[in-house]
């Protein structure tokens, strides 16, 4: 119908030439959303290996909020005061399947000062302002020498936060997580994690 093989070849090339650019962007979006491979740049590091302040984590999966008010900790809690904790969505999706923290897991702990102590809903603790940010990352290549391959970072407990930081000493954070948490994560205090783990865990 197209007269010659040469013409047929030209038409096929044309079809792909038009179809490919049309689909490239949406396919890229769909693949990224539907098939996480754990390799997306959830966080970024500087050339010197420092962790840059993460962005966008307030839209990650929230897993829980411990509260250690300063006034219950001699005026200076180790982590003041509300600790809202988020997990990157790709790793959370894998956690739902396995109950394990996959390589590449990023947890962000945002620290928030206690604001009001009473509201129309009763007496208690109400969130005030953001004051700090901490991050833990499981990465068997980058943190091959850390127990469990987890590294811990603190951007400070007072604004303005640091823009990039080196990992904390193993003894500063990792040791406590290794000794007291479940696979380095205090899931005991994160009901969302406990509920999301497979029942067979």
Supply the minimum distance, in Å, between the C-beta of residue 73 and a second copy: 4
106 or 139: whose CB is closer to a second copy?
106
Buried b (16+ CB within 10 A) or exposed e, 125-134: beeeeebbbb
Check: CB of residue 58 under 8 Å from CB of residue 86.
yes
Binding to a second copy by residue 115, rule CB under 8 A? yes
User: Rg (Cα) of the chain, in Å, rounded?
Assistant: 23
Distances (CA, A) of 129 to 72, 112, 113, 159: 19, 6, 5, 10
Check: CB of residue 73 under 8 Å from CB of residue 93.
no
For a second copy, which residue of 52, 125, 164, 197 counts as binding (CB under 8 A)? 125
Binding to a second copy by residue 95, rule CB under 8 A? no
Distances (CA, A) of 35 to 62, 87, 90, 94, 197: 21, 17, 9, 11, 20
Binding to a second copy by residue 33, rule CB under 8 A? yes
Binding to a second copy by residue 132, rule CB under 8 A? no
Binding to a second copy by residue 35, rule CB under 8 A? no
> Using CB under 8 A as the criterion, which residues of the chain lie in contact with a second copy when the complex forms?
3, 11, 14-15, 18-19, 22-23, 25-27, 29-30, 33-34, 58-59, 61-62, 64-69, 72-73, 77-79, 81-84, 86, 89, 92, 112, 115-116, 119-130, 176, 180, 186, 188-192, 195-196
């Amino acid at each position: 119908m197209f007269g010659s093989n040469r013409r047929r070849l030209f038409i096929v090339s044309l079809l792909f030439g038009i179809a490919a650019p049309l689909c490239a962007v949406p396919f890229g979006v769909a693949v990224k959303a539907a098939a996480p491979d754990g390799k997306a740049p959830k966080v970024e590091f500087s050339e010197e290996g420092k962790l840059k302040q993460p962005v966008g984590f307030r839209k990650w999966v929230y897993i829980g909020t411990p509260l250690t008010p300063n006034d219950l900790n001699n005026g200076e809690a180790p982590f003041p005061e509300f600790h809202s904790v988020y997990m990157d969505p790709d790793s959370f999706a894998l956690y739902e399947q396995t109950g394990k923290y996959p390589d590449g897991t990023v947890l962000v702990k945002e620290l928030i000062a206690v604001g009001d102590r009473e509201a129309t809903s009763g007496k208690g603790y109400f969130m005030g302002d953001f004051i700090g940010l901490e991050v833990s990352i499981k990465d068997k290549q980058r943190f091959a020498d850390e127990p469990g391959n987890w590294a811990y970072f603190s951007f400070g407990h007072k604004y303005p936060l640091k823009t990039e930081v080196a990992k904390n000493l193993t003894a500063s954070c990792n040791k406590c997580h290794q000794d007291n948490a479940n696979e380095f994560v205090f899931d005991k205090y994160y009901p969302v994690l406990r509920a999301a783990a497979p029942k067979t865990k």
